[in-house]
């Protein structure tokens, strides 16, 4: 029996945005180690499919339609899950979208959707579930999806970048709040580098400026060509959860490089610089 199975088997995992991408990979892994997986997504059909796949492999899963941009939906989810299952051992606030475009060209609706899903979905997921977790009083885990982008900057990916900077900061503060309260809740920041997911697929860009299409296509190609296998990345994430780590990276070397660059930027207090990789991506290479 693996350490993950020892710690999580028999427990309930609630994962937002689990109909595709990293959420799907995490749901599958949680099912493999013996958890009852509550697969939530705004697309119920996708959630149904993931839950069915887990069950077909001998696991336990159920699917629920949830729009994380609506705080009341997260309140209802938490109440329902605790009413039916009694406790939640693992909450993964994963739901998120990538938005590409210059700040002033992104329509209001797309801006609001990005901020509401990527930031408010995590904040209100925590707000909705923590009181129940504290009432139960057993050891539990909250994992929030940050990103390698939490430590970087990239023009035309500004909306996504600022949301992930916010989630990293939120998770750090939340970790300390649990220490102050002496709560038995482990807070973890999951930091994907480059994994093979559908986040940059063309159909994910609805509502973006037309000018974003090429950037999105380039990123999708890079991810498909050089990204880490999704299941391997999610195996590493769950392994880190079982080890009670705060920082959980799919590619630690990539995280280290990004953090080091950020530290150097802060120490120099120079103006931001458009690096060669960003120039190339934006078609500005010398």
Catalytic sites, residue numbers: 160
Q: Are β-strands 60-65 and 185-191 bridged in parallel, bridged antiparallel, or unpaired?
A: unpaired
Q: Phi and psi of 215, rounded to 5°?
A: -60, -45
Would you call 118 helix, strand, or coil by DSSP? helix
Beta carbons of 144 and 171 less than 8 angstroms apart: yes
> 């709560």: which residue's tokens?
183
Q: Per DSSP, what are the bridge partners of residue 60?
A: 36
Q: Which letter does DSSP use for residue 211 in this model?
A: G
Beta carbons of 245 and 143 less than 8 angstroms apart: no
Distance CA 273, CA 31 (A): 44
Distance CA 159, CA 103 (A): 7
Would you call 191 helix, strand, or coil by DSSP? strand
Beta carbons of 236 and 269 less than 8 angstroms apart: no
What is the separation of C-alpha 42 from the centre of its chain, rounded to a whole number of angstroms?
15
Q: Phi and psi of 187, rounded to 5°?
A: -105, 130
Distance CA 136, CA 132 (A): 6
Distance CA 95, CA 102 (A): 23
């Amino acid at each position: 029996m693996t350490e993950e199975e020892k710690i999580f088997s028999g427990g309930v995992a609630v994962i937002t945005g689990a109909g595709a991408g990293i959420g799907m990979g995490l749901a599958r892994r949680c099912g493999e180690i013996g958890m009852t997986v509550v697969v939530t997504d705004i697309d119920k059909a996708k959630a149904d499919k993931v839950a069915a796949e887990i069950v077909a492999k001998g696991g336990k899963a159920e699917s629920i339609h949830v729009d994380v941009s609506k705080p009341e939906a997260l309140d209802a989810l938490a109440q329902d899950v605790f009413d039916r299952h009694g406790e939640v051992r693992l909450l993964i606030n994963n739901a998120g979208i990538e938005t590409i475009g210059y700040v002033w060209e992104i329509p209001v609706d797309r801006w609001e959707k990005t901020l509401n899903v990527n930031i408010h979905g995590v904040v209100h997921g925590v707000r909705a579930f923590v009181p129940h977790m504290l009432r139960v009083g057993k050891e539990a885990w909250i994992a929030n999806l940050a990103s390698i982008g939490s430590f970087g900057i990239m023009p035309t990916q500004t909306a996504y970048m600022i949301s992930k900077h916010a989630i990293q900061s939120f998770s750090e503060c939340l970790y300390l709040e649990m220490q102050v309260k002496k709560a038995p809740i482990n807070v973890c920041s999951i930091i994907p580098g480059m994994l093979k997911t559908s986040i940059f697929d063309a159909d994910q860009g609805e509502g973006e400026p037309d000018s974003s299409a090429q950037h999105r296509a380039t990123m999708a190609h890079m991810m498909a060509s050089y990204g880490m296998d999704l299941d391997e990345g999610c195996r590493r994430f769950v392994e880190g959860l079982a080890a009670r780590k705060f920082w959980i990276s799919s590619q630690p070397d990539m995280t280290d490089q990004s953090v080091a660059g950020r530290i150097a930027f802060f120490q120099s207090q120079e103006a931001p610089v458009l690096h060669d990789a960003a120039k190339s991506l934006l078609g500005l290479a010398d």
